[in-house]
Structure formats: C-alpha cells, structure tokens
Amino acid sequence: MKQILFASAALLGVAASPALFATNAEAGIRCNGQWQIVQGNQISTPYCGDNYLATVARGYGSKVSARAIRQNPSKKQEICQWIGHDPRVQDICAGFRNDDGGRGGRN
C-alpha cells in the first residue's frame, strides 16, 4: 500500500512540475501594452515596446512576431514604415520612419 501511495505522489509531482516552470517563466517580464511593470511602476523598455509593436502590426494583418522585430532592426523599420503613423506606436517607431513621424525631423 505504501508503494502505491509513493508512486501516486511521485506521478502527481511530475505532472505538476511543468505547471510550476510555466508560472516561473511567465513571472519574468510583465508588460502592459508598451510598458514594462517593474515593482508596480510602468517604465518604457524596448522589450515591451517591440511586443506591443508586433501586436499592433498583427492588428493590421501582419504575421510578424515580437522576436522578429527584436532580432532584426530592418524588420522593425519595415513595420514602422508601414504602421508608424498609428498613434499607439509613434513613440516606438521614432527614428525608424523616413518622414518626420510627427516629430519635426525633416524640413
């Protein structure tokens, strides 16, 4: 009987461990739109900004991932050229557009 209880407990522990790992991974970086939550405060970070840019781009029909935007500045520029006019991503796309993007860059 003790062996059955021990085996059951071991199986339960193995089954629960992936859930624990997923929770720990998700607890890493938390974003609220383009803002990262750090100790209860919202700060601007490139990681969350790129995630948000990808989210907005997917709303326009793109299939781009946040990882692709983070790893390839050309991809970020391409997306910003396309949707950088959107007020939700103008700050993220500043410097990645040919026009002034509402910033008064070119005359």
Predicted local distance difference test score (pLDDT) of residue 7: 46
* Distance from C-alpha of 54 to C-alpha of 42, rounded to nearest angstrom: 19
Distance from C-alpha of 107 to C-alpha of 56, rounded to nearest angstrom:
29
pLDDT reported for residue 38: 95
pLDDT in tens, the chain (107 residues): 555 544 444 444 444 444 444 445 445 899 999 999 999 999 999 999 999 999 999 999 999 999 999 999 999 999 999 999 999 999 999 998 877 554 544 43
pTM of the model: 0.68
CA gap 60, 87 in Å, rounded:
14
Cα gap 86→80, rounded to integer Å: 9
Give the pLDDT score at 97: 83
Neighbours of 72 (CB within 10 A): 12
User: What is the reported pLDDT for 30?
Assistant: 95
> Using an 8 Å Cβ cutoff, are 101 and 86 in contact?
no
**What is the rounded distance in angstroms from the CA atom of residue 81 to the CA atom of residue 89?**
11
Identify the CA nearest to 34 among candidates 47, 20, 22: 47
